[in-house]
A and B are shown apart, each in its own frame.
Chain A
């Protein structure tokens, strides 16, 4: 049996480098390195895109076509929910869309997806939370707080929990989806005999990384926009 199993299943976050700051121990983990690689990839694509669009002609080439299609898709997504306010938020939504999408797809590069670390997704959820509440206070002033007592004051605790649970649920959804994908892939690569590891995991990658990852990216951005739109008037 020991001959047939490739190696022990491995789907945990590992520390790579330990350093000290302010008397505390900090770790550079596989998540950090994954995020560096993703950032470099996005920067590379951004530089290439900038170059292509600077000398854009009337007849677009392949890369320009892809870029225009991607931007139009993002614009349509934002327009569908935020309507008139889409212009203000399309930059932020586009940024987190690209970041989460590339993080989710990085499983294809053999990395452990950075979004399968609750530290990353919780931060993304908190961004959403702060933007939503900032917009709420900016647009609705005092009504942002009085609306918690809205139907009857007895419902205040439930309204408050409902408001505070938003960032938790939005971040846990992304985290748990990616984690389940990482665990399934880790178990497959770890537990299966070597000859099953040729070719077959491609189908699993298509579901766990590409399909699930793309859907969850879309859901995260949609829900962020829905929460923002609730506070716009």
Chain B
């Protein structure tokens, strides 16, 4: 710990925390994949309703993305706003 000030230590830990916060990206990835898979099978079963299925799928995926984006917001706040330490 010699030569590392408390300030530097806090910034380093904030960077690690930002990386950990982005683990939140797993959830939306899995969720969007499931939605896309079900969308594909729905189009396979009923090709006539392709446009409706696509728009519903995209809307659901955009909403499912939100939790991942919350992780992104937390990471960005940790990296650039620096709420901890000075």
- A residues lining the B interface (CB < 8 Å): 12, 169, 172-173, 175-177, 179-180, 183, 215-216, 218-219, 222-223
9 residue pairs bridging A and B, Cβ less than 8 Å apart: A172-B73, A173-B65, A173-B66, A176-B66, A177-B65, A179-B73, A215-B58, A218-B62, A222-B59
- B residues lining the A interface (CB < 8 Å): 58-59, 62-63, 65-66, 69-70, 72-73, 76, 80
Instruction: Determine the residue in chain A with the shortest Cβ distance to B68.
Output: A176
Q: Which chain B residues lie closer than 8 Å to A172 at the CB level?
A: 66, 69-70, 73
**Complex alpha-carbon distance, A223 and B63, angstroms:** 10
A176 touches B69 (CB 8 A): yes
Instruction: Determine the residue in chain A with the shortest Cβ distance to B76.
Output: A179
A180 touches B69 (CB 8 A): yes
A180 touches B72 (CB 8 A): yes
Main secondary structure of the interface of B (DSSP, over half): helix
Q: Which chain A residues lie closer than 8 Å to B66 at the CB level?
A: 169, 172-173, 176
Centre residue among A175, A176, A177 by max chain B CB count within 10 A? A176
Known: A173-B62, A176-B70, A218-B62. 16 other contacts (CB 8 A): A12-B80, A169-B66, A173-B69, A176-B69, A176-B72, A176-B73, A179-B73, A179-B76, A180-B69, A180-B72, A183-B76, A215-B62, A218-B59, A219-B59, A219-B63, A223-B63
Q: Which chain B residues lie closer than 8 Å to A183 at the CB level?
A: 76
In the complex, how many angstroms separate the beta carbon of B73 from the nearest chain A beta carbon? 5
Q: Which chain A residues lie closer than 8 Å to B65 at the CB level?
A: 173, 177
Q: Which chain B residues lie closer than 8 Å to A180 at the CB level?
A: 69, 72
Q: Which chain B residues lie closer than 8 Å to A176 at the CB level?
A: 66, 69-70, 72-73
Q: Which chain B residues lie closer than 8 Å to A173 at the CB level?
A: 62-63, 65-66, 69
Q: Which chain A residues lie closer than 8 Å to B80 at the CB level?
A: 12
**Complex alpha-carbon distance, A183 and B22, angstroms:** 15
**Complex alpha-carbon distance, A169 and B80, angstroms:** 21
**Complex alpha-carbon distance, A222 and B65, angstroms:** 16
Instruction: Determine the residue in chain B with the shortest Cβ distance to A170.
Output: B66
Q: Which chain A residues lie closer than 8 Å to B59 at the CB level?
A: 218-219, 222
**Complex alpha-carbon distance, A220 and B55, angstroms:** 14
Instruction: Determine the residue in chain A with the shortest Cβ distance to B63.
Output: A219
**Complex alpha-carbon distance, A37 and B29, angstroms:** 36
